[in-house]
Structure 1
Amino acid sequence: ILQQQLKCNPSTAELGVELFYYILPLLNEETTNYLPTKTLFFTCLEKLGESHICGVEFEMPRLLGRILKEPCLSEYLSPHFSPSNVCTANLLIMYKSISQEIGQKYDVSFALLSKFDVDNWLHMKNPKLNQRSQFIEIVIKGLSALGSDPPVEAMMLHGLYRKHLLTVFEFQFPEHYGEILASLLQSSSGTTDVAPIAISVWVDVLNSLAHPTQIHIKISLREQLRAYAQNQEKLHYQEILETTELLARHFTQERLQYGLYGLYPKCRHYMDVYALLLGMIGHGLIISSLNTHQGLVSDKMCEKVWPYIRDMFAPLIAPYSMQNVKENMASWIQQLTDDRSVLLPWITADVQCAQKILNSFQECILFLLHVLPGKFYFDVDVLALTTIISACGIILNYIWQWYVTTYAHGSVKEHILNPIHQTLLVLPWHNFWPSLNDLEVMLRVSILKKLRCVSQ
């Protein structure tokens, strides 16, 4: 009768809605154990839900509230929850409400969130930039709530959050690229109020950036990074420059605020991810620079590329001079380092983690040497030799100068120097033609090494 009245007079809809909610408290053990009443109530709820609630936007918040309050009724109510066509404001409110009530109700949360067609919302509702940012924030918090190692029963929900985040990440790329990257870095830092996110979330984003190259945490760096450099199309030159600056800024701030023993104690869980991320951006920068500045000779190309690579990796691999950074350092670190001249990038226990980042740094340098153009000579017989010397010599000179100013100090310990030396020794130093000044510096470093040995 109510369904017929609704067709003839839509103003009677409220009566059907109230009857729907009136029946709900009648569902108890006594009524559901008696088949006739169970069938009657279930049939009424199904028909009233279909005709008076499902697809009615202003009924969705009330229905959702009831589901969240009484999850035991979810099987009767969830089929009528249909948020796909609601306005953006209501969608954000409801999505947030569900995400805040996750608790241990993973199955209920999944059933509700799976009703949100995020791709359809983005294309049909065309939400504003700030509304999409709100959605991203909610999803990141949801992923953080599930932690870095989600329980088995939450894996479907976790996968749904990942899918929703990736959908927004790829929508009108790169509008939310920097925002999501910064959010993931912050959520992985171990300094937020919520648990860190799972590595799988990072892998999703890296694979989206690397498409069609497939990124895997445990596969050889060189193979993946060079494939990425050859195939990546998503990030343009300026975006890559901004990414290197973002990474350098983030890790520098983290180091100054929490890096008494380097960054590895607080983010060692993500070292494989960070090694890939830094390597991808470094390789992307090299190729993008070559394409953007075609015809630029080696010295000018090195001058453009090297500072970005150096600064991006420095917070994770370089000692900090207390004299240069003390003013910007957290007060608690200052108090504990009054007797130090250098703040080292890692402790002995973290050498293995540090080596992962050093390997990524090494791959960037080797790739730069591999693709760097040399100065052009007309003498065909010596072309190959002069090209190698020109390309290698310039970048190796930059690396030598950086090594001397950064590591050639008495306060830098062996557990720092040994991995650094292993990393740099694989470079083609036989192509390095040192200047007189370089030779003088080498002599001073040699003397310092002897003094260190004597003191030990």
Structure 2
Amino acid sequence: LTQSHVIESSRPGRVGAAAVLEFWVSLLTQQNMWYRDKTVLFLMDQICCAAFTHHQEECVQKLLYQQHKTALGFHGERGVLSSIVGWFSGNATPSFIEGQSLSANIQVWFAWLVLNMEGVFEEDSQLRRCVEQELLTDLNLSPEQAWKKAQQRLKLPVTPSLQRMQIYRWACQAVATPPDHPLLPLVWQKFLQLYLRQPGPEYGLAAGGCIGQRFFLSSSQVALLKDLRQKIQEVSDFHHAASQALRVPPPQMPSSDSQGDESPGNLQPPYLTSPKLHTELVRLFGVFGLWLDDEMLQKQEVYLPSLPPEYEPHRLAQVMQRQQVPWLEFIDQERLHYDGIEVRSLWEKVQSEPTFLQAQSHTFMGYARERILENLQKHPVPQPAPELQPQKVPVADIPTKCLTDSRAAAELLKQDLGILQDQARLAVACEAQQVALELELLESLPLLYKNRPEQVTMTLECKGKGGQPCQGPANITVSCEKLQKQEAVHSQIASLRRDIKKLQTDAMAPPHQGLAQAAVHTENFITALVNLYKAQKLPTVQHVGVATFYQVVSFVCEDTLRHPPTRQYFSSCAEILGQVFIQGNAAECGRVLKTILGQRRLCPLISPFFTPNAAPDQLVFLYQDVVTSLDLDTTDVIFMLLTKFDLIQWLTETNPIFSERTRLLELVHGALCVCGKEPEKELLTPFHVFTKHWTLILRHHFPDHYSDCLRLLMNSSSDQLLSPECWKVTLRVLGCNECLCGCQLDVLSYFFHFVSLFSKVDETIEWLSEYFLRSRLTKSDLRSFGLYSAWAPYITEVVYFWEHLIGSLINIQASNCARESVGSSKTLKSLQNLHSKIVKLFSPWIFPLDTEDGR
């Protein structure tokens, strides 16, 4: 039927063979597990033969490719628990030819198209190329190791097993195909293109031998290679014997009866292949044997023109270069044509039979039905299906109310999270018990043996002297210490070892089902809550998500943090909830910060969701809470929290008012004072963050905060509360570098220089003069001993600052008097003004106080 359908559709004006083939393939592959139905496989083999004959393999191959991708596909999203526990499966990937389909040797045409289709899939996934590259890179790798490395590199969603690689599939098909099948030469061509491949230059490596032998190293693979060599010999013997047969045409009978029986439906005589083709196939498989047995082709690169003619170098070059043009000259086209005519003749004979003959024929539908029913009656009556037993759902469904009601959600999670927390506590308790037992065991081992004092009497023989006999042996008592085993200690050690063994056995036992149910139930609730919120941004759902986040966090304790599975599970739950409901939520910034400061162990868990920039109006208050919590025990937590404050974004995008910036500057100054003149090692990381924040505020809209920074800096330095590093970063912003003399100022230095034109330098010098004089007069120790001792830690930085100020002042005065003549009144006045200011700046440092009242 199918063959006739293809022939009829190929005539001019019809739909064409491709459409008919696609129709039949789509029809036959609609049922489930169609590739295990022998009838379907037989029909598919006939369709694939017709596709090969009419050069329409591509259309059938595309449909099989889609079926193959569907068989490999999977659906579903990975949840929290699925992302924690990853299972590695080594099962072979599905195929349309496996088991009986490959061993029956009857669906060779179908196997030809399926293997070609799987070859396209292997090329698209780059699996073979990656395995070859691993084998060439490391000569000590086995195919299994190279396959595992390639799987890790490619990260394919579905990776075929090693046995499903094309080189093994074509090898098995070459062994399974009967010797007389027309496709056998093309099957061997496909295998040899993979076995005799030289992929070195493709990967930037030196040209070497063929790579095929690297795939046949294990015992099973070596056995397969041996079967291939034996198959070549069997096929050669078969074709050699067949070439000796005579091809005699069938006798023509002139009788009227025979002439009357000649019709398209009559069976034709058996077909014999041409002896010449058999001879060519004997020669071809002989060449295959030479290629397969030659070790030189596998070990090194061979100059093909130098090979003997028996090797057929031109054909070997085509194989090594993987030229995909099939060798159709070795296909028995006459036999294919004959087989097609024979199949169509049978179909036409059945169609041309009269009705009364069809009624008597064994192919009649009614007879077939009766025969099937009679055969079924011979078998025992089948038992009825067992009754359906109601099964309890292992994990309860999530009530819809819990997704919008925070109280219901809390009650739902309380029991599940409690089970997980109890399991962690039990595991930690068992761990602590085992540690205690092992410590006790270590303490008991030195007491197992003990030396006990003991007296031993020894006898010394005497042989006499001078021929006189001895009176007898001498008895000597010796005191020594003898090693004795302490039985009580030995019993105690044996008991301890039994207890430790029992604890280890209990620890390795699988967890109870309730634990898995609690984990999956919580995961299902979180997944449903997140999906609902992403679909509908409802405030009630967000409120439930926020409450769920804090409820999960509340169950995190020391025991859950010490138990890795529970810690990972809670971390994953908090991560998903925090990313969806907490991160970027301005209303939750304060609560998250309060939770972290109250329970410092939660900082690594929930600090990623602390986003103070999401609440710009609260940023100063949040910063105040962080700064006031700074001490030697909280440095790690404070540093992690400080990294969440993006002051650049806050200053540039929010444009806070001057009072807010001033308040933030005072908070940073207070934190720098807490760090002290010489910050402890633990305080260095937050100290550097504070200095960075100090410079950011000072730079922003300079010189808005210049006066405040200078005032805070001077007041704290007078009491030696600040580190000299604070002076350095401040002077760096002002452009007062150490290499100031003779060097070009940076942009900020130029800016400060231009600002000084508007009396900023004068004001700074005037304020500093009054500040130092006031400090000298108000403090008794400074009145007697001067300022140098109090400002000794900052002298270097003060010198650089004054050098910059005085230099700027001189430059201003010089620029103002540039057009005046030497000795003019304006020049003299400028010099007197300059001298008075410099003297006033240095006088608190160098002049003594003569009067008692300090004037």
Distance 1:325 1:150 in 2: 36
1:279 counterpart = 2:803? yes
Distance 1:69 1:257 in 2: 43
1:291 counterpart = 2:818? no
Query: How far did 1:257 drift?
Result: 1.1
The amino acid of 1:204's aligned partner reads V
2:338 matched to which residue of 1? none
RMSD: 2.1
Change (3 A) 1:161 1:318: same
1:3 matched to which residue of 2? 530
1:202 matched to which residue of 2? 727
1:93 matched to which residue of 2? 621
Ranked by relative contact order (alpha carbons within 8 Å, sequence separation 6 or more), the top structure is 1
The amino acid of 1:276's aligned partner reads Y
Query: How far did 1:114 drift?
Result: 1.1
The amino acid of 1:99's aligned partner reads V
Contact 1:210 1:228 in 2 (8 A): no
Contact 1:225 1:280 in 2 (8 A): no
Aligned with residue 699 of structure 2, among 151, 167, 170 = 170
The amino acid of 1:248's aligned partner reads S
Change (3 A) 1:271 1:18: same
Query: How far did 1:253 drift?
Result: 1.1
Change (3 A) 1:188 1:40: same
Query: How far did 1:25 drift?
Result: 2.7
Name structure 1 gaps, 5 residues minimum: 216-222, 327-456
Aligned with residue 765 of structure 2, among 230, 233, 244 = 244
Query: How far did 1:313 drift?
Result: 1.4
Contact 1:148 1:196 in 2 (8 A): yes
Task: Classify the secondary structure of the residue corresponding to 1:112.
Answer: helix
The amino acid of 1:38's aligned partner reads R
The amino acid of 2:708's aligned partner reads E
CA deviation profile, 1:62-96 (whole Å, cap 9, x unmatched) = 000110111111000111001123223x1000001
The amino acid of 2:574's aligned partner reads L
Change (3 A) 1:270 1:56: same
Distance 1:60 1:77 in 2: 11
Change (3 A) 1:93 1:38: same
1:262 counterpart = 2:786? yes
Bigger CA radius of gyration: 2
Task: Classify the secondary structure of the residue corresponding to 2:613.
Answer: coil
1:154 counterpart = 2:683? yes
Change (3 A) 1:53 1:294: same
Query: How far did 1:282 drift?
Result: 1.0
Name structure 2 gaps, 5 residues minimum: 1-527
Contact 2:585 2:614 in 1 (8 A): no
1:102 matched to which residue of 2? 630
2:715 matched to which residue of 1? 186
Contact 2:647 2:693 in 1 (8 A): yes
Contact 1:229 1:283 in 2 (8 A): no
1:84 counterpart = 2:613? yes
Query: How far did 1:230 drift?
Result: 10
2:406 matched to which residue of 1? none
Contact 2:735 2:746 in 1 (8 A): no
Change (3 A) 1:28 1:150: same
Query: How far did 1:226 drift?
Result: 5.1
Query: How far did 1:35 drift?
Result: 4.6
2:233 matched to which residue of 1? none
Task: Classify the secondary structure of the residue corresponding to 1:121.
Answer: helix
CA deviation profile, 1:225-261 (whole Å, cap 9, x unmatched) = 4547899421323100011011111111110111222
How do 1:22-61 and structure 2 match up within 5 A?
22-61=551-590
CA deviation profile, 1:325-357 (whole Å, cap 9, x unmatched) = 44xxxxxxxxxxxxxxxxxxxxxxxxxxxxxxx
Task: Classify the secondary structure of the residue corresponding to 1:188.
Answer: helix
2:642 matched to which residue of 1? 113
Distance 1:283 1:229 in 2: 12
The amino acid of 1:287's aligned partner reads N
Number of aligned residues: 312
The alignment's TM-score, normalised by the length of structure 2, stands at: 0.35
Percent of counterpart pairs with the same letter? Answer: 26
The amino acid of 1:93's aligned partner reads F
CA deviation profile, 1:40-72 (whole Å, cap 9, x unmatched) = 322111111111111001100000011011111
Q: Which moved more, 1:281-290 or 1:264-273?
A: 264-273
How do 1:202-241 and structure 2 match up within 5 A?
202-210=727-735, 214-215=737-738, 224-225=740-741, 227=743, 232-233=749-750, 234-235=752-753, 236-237=756-757, 238-241=759-762
Contact 1:6 1:12 in 2 (8 A): yes
Distance 1:71 1:30 in 2: 15
1:338 matched to which residue of 2? none
The amino acid of 2:774's aligned partner reads Q
CA deviation profile, 1:268-296 (whole Å, cap 9, x unmatched) = 21111222222221111111222244324
Distance 2:841 2:853 in 1: 18
The amino acid of 1:129's aligned partner reads F
Query: How far did 1:181 drift?
Result: 0.9
The amino acid of 2:818's aligned partner reads Q
Determine which structure has the larger helix proportion and give its number: 1
